[in-house]
Structure 1
Amino acid sequence: MTDADQTGPPQPTRLWTIGRTAWALLGIAAVVLALGYVASAIAIVLIPTVLALFPATLLAPIADRLCRRGVSPGLSALLTLLLGLVVFFGVLAGAIALVIAQLPELLESAAEGVGQIEGFLEDDPLGIGVEGFADVADLVQEQLGEAGDLAPQAATAAVFAVEFVVGLLLMFVVLFFYLKDGRRLRDAIVTTFPRARRPVVGEALDRSWDTLSGYLRGQLLVAAVDAFFIGVGLVILGVPLALPLAILVLFGGLFPIVGAVVTGALAVLVALADGGLTTGLIVAGIVLAVQQLESNVLEPYILGRSIRLHPLVVLTSIAAAASVFGILGAFLAVPAAAITARVVDLLRDRDEATADAGAG
Structure 2
Amino acid sequence: MPDRLSAIRTRAALRSSARTSAELLLLLLTAAAALWLLGRMWPVLWPLVVALFLTTLTWPLTRFLRAHRWPATLAASVVTVLSLVVAAGVVALIAVPVSSQSGQLVDGVVDGIKQLREWAAGPPLNIDDAQISKGLDAAVERLQDSAGTTVSAVVTGVGTVINGVVTAVLAVFLMFFFLKDGPRFLPWLARQLPGKYAVHVPAVAERGWDTLGAFIRSQALVGLIDAVLIGIGLWLLDIPLVLPLSVLTFVSAFVPVIGALFAGFVAVLIALVSNGLTDALIVLAIIVGVQQLEGNVFQPMIQSRGLGLHAAVILLAVTLGGNLAGIVGSLLAVPAAALIAVVWNYVREQLTERDERPPRDGEADGGATVATV
Moved more, 282-291 or 240-249: 282-291
Task: Decide whether aligned partners of structure 1 residues 27 and 293 sit closer, same or farther in structure 2, where only a CA change above 3 A counts.
Answer: closer
User: Which moved further from structure 2: 161-170 or 293-302?
Assistant: 293-302
**Structure 2 unaligned spans of 5+:** 1-8, 356-368
What residue is the counterpart of 1:90 in the other structure?
Answer: 89
Relative contact order, CA 8 A, sep 6+: which one is greater?
1
Letter in 2 for 1:239: I
CA distance in 2, matches of 1:14, 1:272: 67
Pairwise mapping of residues 160-239 of structure 1 onto structure 2 (< 5 A)?
160-239=160-239
RMSD: 3.6
Task: Give 1:47's aligned residue.
Answer: 46
CA distance in 1, matches of 2:257, 2:149: 39
Residue in structure 1 matched with residue 363 of structure 2 by the alignment: none
**Change beyond 3 A, Cα 1:19–1:56:** same
Question: 1:266-345 counterparts in 2 under 5 A?
Answer: 266-287=266-287, 290-291=290-291, 294=294, 299=299, 302-303=302-303, 305-345=305-345
Conserved 8 A contact 1:318-1:334: yes
CA 1:162–1:11 in 2, change beyond 3 Å: closer, same or farther? same
Q: Secondary structure at the match of 1:278?
A: helix
- Distance change in 2, residues 1:27/1:304 (3 Å): closer
Report the alpha carbon displacement of residue 181 of structure 1 after superposing the two structures with TM. Answer: 1.0
Unaligned runs of 5+ in 1: 1-9
CA–CA separation in structure 1 for the residues paired with 2:180 and 2:256: 31
Question: Which residue identity is paired with 2:73?
Answer: G
Q: What is the CA-CA distance between 1:139 and the residue it aligns to? A: 3.0
What SS does the aligned partner of 2:276 have? helix
Deviation at 1:14, TM superposition (A): 2.8
Normalising by the residue count of structure 2, what TM-score does the alignment of the two structures yield? 0.78
1:71 alignment partner, SS class: coil
1:289 Cα shift? Answer: 5.6
Instruction: Provide the residue aligned with 1:34 in structure 2.
Output: 33
| Contact 2:303–2:309, Cα closer than 8 Å, also in 1 | no
Aligned residue number for residue 3 of structure 1: none
CA distance in 1, matches of 2:267, 2:249: 9
Distance 1:73 1:216, change over 3 A: same
2:108 maps to 109
User: Comparing 349-358 with 203-212, which one deviates more in the overlay?
Assistant: 349-358
- Partners of 1:70 and 1:256 lie apart in 2 by 39
Greater Rg over alpha carbons, structure: 2
How does the TM-score come out when normalised to structure 1? 0.80
Partner of 2:99: 100
Shift of 1:216: 1.0
Aligned amino acid, residue 109 of structure 1: G
- What is the aligned-residue identity percentage? 32
